[in-house]
Structure 1
Amino acid sequence: MRIQIEQKKLAKHINIIQKGISSKTTLPILDGILLEAKEGILKLTSTDLEIGIESYIEANVLEEGSIVINSKLFGDIVKKLPSSEIDINTFENKMNITCESSQFNLIGNPALEYPELPTLIDQLSLKMPMDLLKSIIRQTVFATTQDETRPILTGVLFEVIDGNASFVALDGYRLALRNIKIDSSEDIKVVIPGKTLSELNKILEEDEKDIEIILTPGHIVFNIGNTLVFSRLLEGQFLNYRDIIREEHETKIKVNRKELQESLERASLLAKEEKANLVKLNLSEDKLVIKSNSEIGNVYENINISLEGKDLNIAFNSKYILDGIKAIEEEEIELFFMGSLNPCIIKPIEDDNYIYLVLPVRLAKDDY
């Protein structure tokens, strides 16, 4: 193989492709990037057998061929080279990299040893704007669990019914739900690994152009123009999240999101000193009082709110309630309560497209 390619272009695509490399792999070949040059295109491939990424770059292909080269070393070299044309030449399992006055010689592996990514058969395709998908990931993926003993909850449920799409993440303590309209005549129910969506989010740009989502048995593929992200789907039965979200409530408050967020962040400075990470909320007479105390001190915050219904004392893990509030972009939010032992529902005012549900922490009356 012999190619000539611009350093900046190659460095950009290596940065994308490295998101498919796992630091925990036991297979040495998976530490590598597969390079394949053919018909004016350099194709880069990485995989950890769960996520796979293909990226295509235009290059001057003087001789077709392929090789697997260590991802970290190859990436570090390319990023440090001058912003100029790079000449890459391979013979058998050896690679020569030349750029201006710099020259590197590396040992690689045969391309035949590299695992193949899934073949797209029986596929279903749909599209959505890239910036919308980026927003959906930001608002949901944080609520997936890191507990590998419940693998289905490490993913985000993607469900389409009659052109209405839902993205749902939950970990047993909170639930994040984002609804959108989508142009699909097919009903869909799959669970996408949270890790895949987190890595995809790093690649996606704040752009209104469409991304194609391709579903095939056992896998999902995100087509971002010259980059394809492949992922296994999670197997198992996702929890029936609709049963968790109740419509009825005894107390409702309207509050400025930024004010509430900043007060909770200040209160959480002390909450973090305790294992429970606890903040206590007292709702009465259009006032919200937030308290937290630890062995080294206490904090008291007071916010104006609009309250409907019963006064209430309730407590939360400060991280869990803050995560949901931070995910909302609108200025005003509503919080719905059904007593001090049932979940709190948080959503933007007059917008049912995003719902965040968080469980309270049970406290004795005297602890408030």
Structure 2
Amino acid sequence: MKFTCEKSNLQEAISIVQKAVTGRSPMPILEGIFIEAINNELRLIGSDIDLSIETKINANIIESGRIVVDSKIFGEIIRKLPNDEIAIETTENNSIIITCQNSIFNLIHLNADEFPSLPNIDDDMMFVIPQSTLKNMIRGTSFAIAQDETRPILTGILFEINDKMLNMVALDGYRLAIRNEYIDTENSISAVIPGKTLNEVAKVLEDTNEIANITFTTNHILFNLGVTKIISRLLEGEFIKYSSIIPQEFNLKVTVNKQKLQNGIERASLMAKEGNANLIKLDIEDESMVITSNSQLGKVREEVAINLQGTTLQIAFNSKYLLDVLKIMDEEEVVMEFSSSVSPCVVKNKEKNNCKYLVLPVRLAK
């Protein structure tokens, strides 16, 4: 194998496929990056079996071939080389020579035949969605994925298409996040994608209207993003019937400026960090919401103007859970619906009906 290519292109391709190389696989070959040189193109793959990422770059292929090189050391070498053309060729003794300007590295490579092939995915169940839309939907739900492995299904995001509507849902027992967007398809699907996969997909997605092609099989999902493909195993099991958790009625409704509320909660939570679960209290009155927190460090009182429909209420929350929701909402005003001091609060946009968030309150000792 022998080829030349631009350092910047190779470095970017390595950083994309490295996202799938965890170093935790029982197969040592998966600590490497698979590289195939053919038809003036370089194909790179990183994998940990559950998640595989493939990308391609243009290169001047002098002699075709395929190898596997250690992901960490190869990535470091390429990153530290000058910004110029790099030449790579295989030599005797299972090694490659990497040359760039005055730098010459000799690096051992592994046998590419031992690298597991990617799952075969045909295009029966294919959906298209703009990359920016998908990126926003992942951002709007992934914070609510369970970090605890005791219920593996909750470490994923439900991807559900019905009646031309795509719903993405995540919940961790303390909050629930739902994002929905129109999607032009007659197909319907319900699958749970690992949160880790979607967080890596979001890093590769562009903020453009370019299309992401999504294909499902029984056990896998493929994201085809032009030159980059991401293939992931799906999570097995039944996702929680989330619609039954969402309150259908409420006693009071608060409309509030999102940024002012976020700023007030952020300042109040400075006092809440002292080992008491980031606890803040909300006193909802006619025209204002008073946010308080006290700890051994001291106390704080913030007041935010609101528009209230309904009765007054005192309720407490873990401030982190409210802030996670507010930070990813993009409208100027948000609506909060409450039923009682022990029932979940529903947060949604005032204008656009494309998201719904549920946050459980903290019970206060009387």
* TM-score, normalised with respect to structure 2: 0.98
Asked whether 1:44 is paired with 2:44, we answer yes
Aligned-partner Cα distance in 2 for 1:85–1:163 = 48
CA offsets per residue over residues 35-57 of structure 1, 9 Å max, x none? Answer: 01111111000001111000111
Residue aligning to 1:295: 296
Structure 2 counterpart of 1:40, one-letter code: N
Whole-angstrom CA distance in 2 between matches of 1:22 and 1:275: 35
What is the match of residue 11 of structure 1? 11
**Partner SS state of residue 305, structure 1:** strand
Alignment-mate amino acid for residue 290 of structure 2:
V
Instruction: Give the superposition deviation at 1:246.
Output: 1.8
Are residues 1:358 and 2:359 paired? yes
Aligned-residue sequence identity (percent) comes to 49
Match of 2:233 in 1: 232
In the alignment, the residues of structure 2 paired with residue 161 and residue 150 of structure 1 have an alpha-carbon distance, to the nearest angstrom, of: 26
Residue 343 of structure 1 deviates from its aligned partner by 0.3
Q: How does 1:189-338 map to 2 (within 5 A)?
A: 189-338=190-339
Contact 2:23 2:30 in 1 (8 A): no
In the TM superposition, what is the alpha-carbon distance from 1:8 to its structure 2 partner? 0.8
Residue identity in the other structure for 1:27 = M
* Matching residue's letter, 2:55: S
- 2:148 aligned with 1:147, yes or no? yes
Residue number in structure 2 paired with 1:54: 54
- Aligned residue pair count: 365
Segment drifting more, 224-233 vs 21-30: 21-30
In 1, Cα distance between the equivalents of 2:129 and 2:50?
24
Question: C-alpha offsets along residues 3-58 of structure 1, whole Å, 9 cap, x if unaligned?
Answer: 11111111111111111110433332111000011111110000011110001111
Superposed CA offset, 1:251-297 (max 9, x none) = 11000000000000111111111232101000012110001111111
Matched residue type, 1:217:
T
Are 2:123 and 2:215, in contact at CA under 8 Å, matched by a contact in 1? no
Could you tell me which amino acid in structure 1 is paired with residue 233 of structure 2? R
Unaligned runs of 5+ in 2: none
Q: Is the 8 A contact 1:122 1:217 kept in 2?
A: no
Amino acid at match of 1:205: E
Query: How far apart, in 2, do the equivalents of 1:112 and 1:303 lie?
Result: 63
Letter paired with 1:69: V
Which moved further from structure 2: 329-338 or 238-247?
Answer: 238-247
For the aligned residues, what is the CA RMSD? 1.1
Opposite residue 217 of structure 2, the aligned amino acid is: T
8 Å contact kept, 1:279–1:290: yes
Query: Partner of 2:181: helix, strand, or coil?
Result: strand
* SS of residue in 2 equivalent to 1:29: helix
1:281-323 deviation per Cα after TM superposition (whole angstroms, max 9, x unaligned):
0001211000111111111001110001010000001111111
Query: Secondary structure at 1:167's aligned position in 2?
Result: strand
Name stretches of at least 5 consecutive residues in structure 1 with no aligned partner. none
Rounded to whole Å, the distance in 2 between the matches of 1:166 and 1:6 is 41
Distance 1:338 1:153 in 2: 26
Structure 2 CA distance for aligned equivalents of residues 123 and 194 of structure 1: 24
Match of 1:99 in 2: 100
Separation in 1 of the partners of 2:26 and 2:299?
48
Answer yes or no: is the 8 Å Cα contact 1:271–1:278 preserved in 2: yes
Q: Letter of the aligned partner of 1:302 in structure 2?
A: E
Q: Displacement, 1:351?
A: 2.3
Whole-angstrom CA distance in 2 between matches of 1:135 and 1:48: 26
CA distance in 1, matches of 2:75, 2:209: 30
Structure 2 equivalent of residue 108 of structure 1: 109
Q: Scaled by the length of structure 1, what TM-score is found? A: 0.97
Q: Which amino acid in 1 is paired with 2:263?
A: E
Q: SS in structure 1 opposite 2:11?
A: helix
Counterparts of 2:68 and 2:352, CA distance in 1: 50
Q: Which amino acid aligns with 1:22?
A: T
* Map 1:64-83 → 2, pairs under 5 A: 64-83=64-83
* Counterpart secondary structure, 2:107: strand
Cα contact 1:328–1:348 (8 A) shared by 2: yes
Q: Write the deviation string for residues 59-115 of structure 1: whole angstroms up to 9, x where unpaired.
A: 111111111101111111111111111111013521110111110000011001111
Aligned to 1:175: 176
Residue 140 of structure 2: SS of its match in structure 1? Answer: helix
